A and B are shown apart, each in its own frame.
Chain A
């Protein structure tokens, strides 16, 4: 039964329509969650006893870092599904992830550097978190570079899928090797807090922001994936119905079965 649902969702016309309907259902909750998180984090939460009000950067840094990782995992998993089951929808989803993931990784780096400046005294320290984020950015750039280098979309999908899978296996290895390397050289990490656990007033807005950013990512993903799907689909039949006619009068609503698939 689950397979029926899986294959239905994987069918391009169904996905196109469903994704279009779902975007606002993720988008508006995202806005609300982030609003709640911002109010809670910027106004209601008390200042940290060690970092003062500077810790409030966490409310944008942590969601950015979270997205940078989540998006990579989604990218690699959907690429794997696309490669193994040859699902165009899955490849479309993977392709949609790249820009989002890369930009939020860059944001995580920028906010991490701005956070580090008052706490460490310099904009950059080879702290394990920042160094891992930097390497993750390189992984995204490599993925995007490989995609761009190949003209044929199908081949680009498959090659970048292999790369994404290899990358996702490496991410934990890279991360732990960086932590290991860092522990030898004792660079300070500011991403921790004065207290061992965060009080609820600090934690709840953080969770709201994380949830809000996740919903926002899903809305973006569904939006982009529809476009990526259109770029990959050769079959005209469902597309002619799904796309409303604009200027060309000849492209008016065509009943099913009349358009020859190319």
Chain B
């Protein structure tokens, strides 16, 4: 197990790469979800105000 983590001596380059990748992958999922939710909320508000006017 330790040998795996050591990555033949390259651990301090390999693992940060994987960590950064996990970070970017995760952030993108969060941003995409947030973007969709914000757009849905905005659209609901727009529709509600339209109903109020009509």
Query: Is there a contact between chains A and B in the complex with CB atoms less than 8 Å apart?
Result: yes
A residues contacting B by CB (< 8 A) are: 42-43, 47, 52-54, 56-57, 60-61, 64, 99-100, 103-104, 106-107, 110-111, 114-115, 117-118, 216, 220, 223-224, 226-228, 230-231, 233, 236, 239-240, 243, 245-246, 248, 250-251, 259-260, 262
Q: When A and B form their complex, which 8 residue pairs have the shortest distance between CB atoms, in order from nearest?
A: A227-B39, A53-B8, A54-B10, A227-B36, A53-B7, A52-B8, A60-B21, A230-B39
Having A224-B35, A224-B36, one finds 14 other A-B pairs with CB under 8 Å, namely A47-B8, A53-B9, A54-B10, A54-B13, A60-B18, A60-B20, A110-B20, A111-B20, A111-B21, A227-B37, A227-B40, A231-B39, A243-B40, A260-B54
Chain A residues within 8 Å of B10, by CB:
52-54, 56, 118
Is A220 touching B29 in the complex (CB atoms < 8 A)?
yes
Q: Mark B14-51, 1 if CB is under 8 A from A, else 0.
A: 10111011001101110111011111101110111011
State the main secondary structure of chain A at its contact with B.
Answer: helix
Is A103 touching B40 in the complex (CB atoms < 8 A)?
no
Is B39 touching A53 in the complex (CB atoms < 8 A)?
no
| Option from A52, A100, A226 in Cβ contact (under 8 Å) with B36 | A226
Is B17 touching A103 in the complex (CB atoms < 8 A)?
no
